[in-house]
Amino acid sequence: MSTPHVLNFGAGPAKIPKSVLQRAQGEMLNFDNSGMSVMELSHRSKTFGKVLSHTKAMIKSLMNVPDNYEILFMQGGATTQFAALFYNLVAAKQQQLGQDEVFVDYVVTGAWSNKAAQEADRLATANPAVKVNRVTHSKQDFGKYGDVAPSSAWQFSDPAKTAYVYYCDNETVHGVEFDHVPEVDPRVPLVADVSSNFMSRPIDVSKFALLYGGAQKNLGPAGVSIVIMRKDLLTDINVGPVRPLMLDFKTMADNDSMYNTPPTFGIYMVGLVLDWLEEQGGLEGIGKVNKTKADKLYEAIDTSPLFACPVAPAYRSRMNVVFTTPNEDLDKAFLTGAEARNMVQLKGHRSMGGIRASIYNSMPEDEVDQLIAYMKEFEQSRA
């Protein structure tokens, strides 16, 4: 009995290109003529060293990462980076200023940026010299994010004392994505969580002090996070807040991301996905495809008498398309019908409800077309 083809709209861990999975399958028992699986290789071996070097080189090439940036592979997901960036960038600022008062600014536009700010609040209780400032909230109340206040209303801290400005480039839960890089004072390091739109379109790395994201949306399986940061922000472990070695960027950089055993299989899989991404025309090529997919889906929503998107058009995500029907019963009926058609993981986040179609890099355009066709069929059945 053949396995039915599944259309996986999951928000993460998310769909991985079929050709990548097939390549990994073919190499599973004997990687690079080693007689072993890549999962069995020593991370200190020359064979894995080639994997690590290749993956890092592909990131640098596809994103045009400048030479004065470090590429790190870390564990714990993007959530761990909430703490790591606080510890390290506060240390960098305190190294510059001494132990004077330091600010960290957070642009809060959805669930993940709010969680990041909450973690900064918690860590700041043990570091009274650090003040956490929320630059902006969404125009709407928490839990109902769908728009972003104009930048003219943002309240930044004193740039001379600000360790960094943080924002989440794409809010996975609320379907809110920036289509531009926010402008900040050039003296202040700009940090972005790009977990759910990592390498989905071209981005100018030089505008950022630090970019980070978990791999499990666009770049591979859960278990590895990627940090891209300016080398001048690497700070001695004895400066600033006391931080665990595993969260110290300089320790990771000095040891080529191998202070301890890294997530070897995850790094290998990211490398395979990056090879696939290069075949799609790199970030320029995949960016065009992603725009086409999202435009089609939003047009179907906006022209529908049944479906609606709660996100302001200027901030609609190309990766996570959230929408609803007029009531929860219809939402449930739509989701039940979708599952009967092997369209899975379309249920909205537990805090939001509704419907969410995650259409990351690996989602083919024809599968978005199939979703749209089902939406029209569902509309007609309720007419």
Name the residues annotated as catalytic. Answer: 112, 193, 217
Please count the CA atoms within 13 angstroms of the CA of 54 that sit on its side-chain side: 17
Q: Which amino acid is at 119?
A: E
Are 230 and 249 within 8 A, CB to CB?
no
Neighbours of 245 (CB within 10 A): 12
Give 153-202 as a DSSP string: G-----GGGEEEEEEESEETTTTEE-SSPPP--TTSPEEEE-GGGTTSS-
**Apex 168 CA angle, 202 and 264, nearest 5:** 70
Interacting residues of 97 by C-beta distance below 8 A, sequence separation 6+? 161
Are 85 and 236 within 8 A, CB to CB?
no
Are 133 and 160 within 8 A, CB to CB?
no
Tell me which residue of 346, 365, 367 sits closest to 357, measured CA to CA.
346
Q: Where are the alpha helices (DSSP H) in the chain?
A: 18-27, 46-63, 77-97, 111-124, 249-254, 264-279, 282-302, 328-340, 365-381
Q: How many residues does the chain have?
A: 383
Pairing mode of beta strands 225-230, 69-74:
antiparallel
Residue with tokens 């089902």: 374
Give 294-352 as a DSSP string: HHHHHHHHHT-SS-B--S-GGGB-SSEEEEB-SSHHHHHHHHHHHHHTTEES-BPPTTT
Backbone angles phi, psi at 131, to 5 degrees: -115, 130
